[in-house]
Structure 1
Amino acid sequence: MDGIARAATRVWVDEFLAFEGGADVEVQPAFAGPLAEVTQTGDTLRVVLHPAVPLDSQATVSVRVVSATAGGAHLLDDTYTFTMEDRTAPRLLGAQAVGPKSVRLAFDEDVRAPPAARFTFTPRGAPAVPVAATEAAAEGALVHLALDTELTPDVVYEVSVEGVTDTHGNLVLAPHHRATFTGFRPARPPSRHFQLWDMLPRHNRRADVTGDLHRFISCLQEVTDLLLSDLDAFPDVFDLERAPEAFLDAILQDLGNPFAFEMDVLARRRLAAILTEMYQQKGTALGLRNAIRFFLGIEVRAISPFASDTLVLGESELGVDWVLGPSERFARYAFNIEVERLLSQAERQRLRTLVEYLKPAHTHFVDLVEPLPPVLPEHWELGLSELGETSRLH
């Protein structure tokens, strides 16, 4: 096999000549780092380039190679590209308090917040409450932090990030690991003026030469503002559409919810909205139908007496369709419920629980009537069925 013509070999990196075989200086100075070398054997020419200045992170690099065999029978002129690995550390662009106990961090690229990541908050004003992050969740280029206590409103905090990485494992590095933000102040009515300092007698305020009294009142003012904010948010607690899940359970308990069924949050909100009406319809056929439709999503075809062939006053004829009805009290107040489809065992149990609670107290629920399963015809089976014995025409 012919060897490589070293003098006919040229290599360009991003259109810059990096190697020229046969020249006095084959590897050009820009690519002649400590690891650069040229090795040639009988049929191989190995060129190692070591850029003096590292190529940009995530840059697309093109390499063109021109060469020929020693006899000139084979020529090579080929170009290929590759992308540099990501070595750029992510940068913290800013921070924002989005709630009394919630902070959002923004980075210049998608990041990860592993369990070992640390977030340190330092207040830059006084008085201020020290806070710490209890949970961190990364979502794209954002990291959402949950804090252990409320931020002091309007006080500047500095957050320092350690251990956060991008998707390629590059850590956030100084000086791009810090950001400042202002403590969250809850919304308040524009006309409200509830400043404890202004409520003090004037002579006490004039006597505060050192400012210690003002700083002490400022600490009390922060607690007062938080209490007022909780009072402002109280309508959201008893609003069925916005109440947090824990308060939603308390609302159902306060309404005396008699149903121990497992339901998602949306179903519980709907139940809280109609539970009073359900109480009002208790003991009626309409209440039974509505409750079964709500909890099971099925329609009741009929609620029929258990002894349905008994005498009907004004309709039955003596000796024609007259049937002696039951004489026992139980049979006179017993009933069946007919549904439109087959139910699962869990649905049957839930339906019976509903009916036993909602039916009139003196009545008795006997049978749940479901559609019969479809009858499968007996087909002929080759080699098994016998004409006139085990075969049926259908």
Structure 2
Amino acid sequence: MAETKIEQALVESRMLQQLQLTLEHEDQKKAYHTNSGISIYHFEAAPENLQKMATDSVQELEIVADDKATELHFLKYNYQNQEYILSYLESSLLSATDYPVLTIFEELEAIIYTALSGAIILSLLIAILFSYLSSKAITKPILDLKKSVESENQQLDKLTHLPSEIGVLARAIDEKNHKLEQYLKREQLFTGDVSHELRTPLTIIMGASEVLASQLDHNSSLSEFTDRISTTAKETSEIISALLLLSRAPEKLDAPQTSINNTAINETERLKYLLKYKPVTCTIVAEKEHIANIRPELLKMALGNLIKNAFQYTDDGEVRVTIDDEKITVTDTGLGIPEAMMPLLYERFERLGYSNTDFQTDDDSSTDKAFSNKVEGSGLGLSIVQRIMTHMDWELTHQANKTGGSSFSIYYR
């Protein structure tokens, strides 16, 4: 460094000046020690470490003097055919009258170091402040955009006029929100219109079935059909009500206390016709009465679809509905769901059907191919159940049974 070389040159000049003055005014000695912190040694009288290290140029050595760390400057110099080792202890007080140039340099050096230290600290503080203000200025529009998107009112008008990238993004989000609002509005209108238009013919069908039933003899074989018409019409009306509930925001729905036990019993009784020609038993297991806060129409639709699937896809064995404090589990002893169908389990219009003879093979690929459309359905059942679970913030899980069949669990707590 330049300042180091300047300091060495000044120290060397001062030590040589002191050597000349000392030899002119002092008697011959092996060593001289001056008040200015400079020591002069005949080479052979110098400390052994200095003899080994000294060269014709000024060297520096860190030492401890008076319990303080300091630097010792030294060099080897040939004067009047005599070799000397000159040293200067930087910690010694140097009078300005002894060597004003070196004194001024050391003072100036201290000032420069102090100024540089202050400048570095100030620069760091300025950099931190600048980084903070810059990051705040950069992130503020993003945070404003985040708050606007998260707010129910979605007030993006204040950001859409900005010429920056935030404005472009805000305009894109606003446009997408507008399209989504229109889509949701159309869906809600469609659901409402369908519900309104279907209720009238369903009411007529129910009324007509009641009139027809009243005109039949008490023991008439046709009474079963009129009851079936009336029951189906009522069930269709309940399904429409449930679909209307799904079109509303969850927080806007009331959630009355609904008996899970009664819903399970009613759904198994309603769907038992699917087991009419099958050696399949249905059991409901519940240690006590279980209540859930949910619209009964939605619980009926979700549980009914699971029970219906279990009945349809079980040719022999048992269907068990287990109810406890945290979940409802529908377990069947059917052949289960093939691995290839698992990624599409809750997709709309994905369905499977089988018969017992379809699976007399050990080849997994042929097992998957054996599924056909022999069981009636549209492939919407599990998709609807999953949609209800999402709507109610519940959870639907599937687990393959070790002995065959599937277990679907609805976690409601």
Normalised by the shorter chain, which TM-score bucket?
under 0.3
Larger % of strand: which? Answer: 1
Larger % of helix: which? Answer: 2
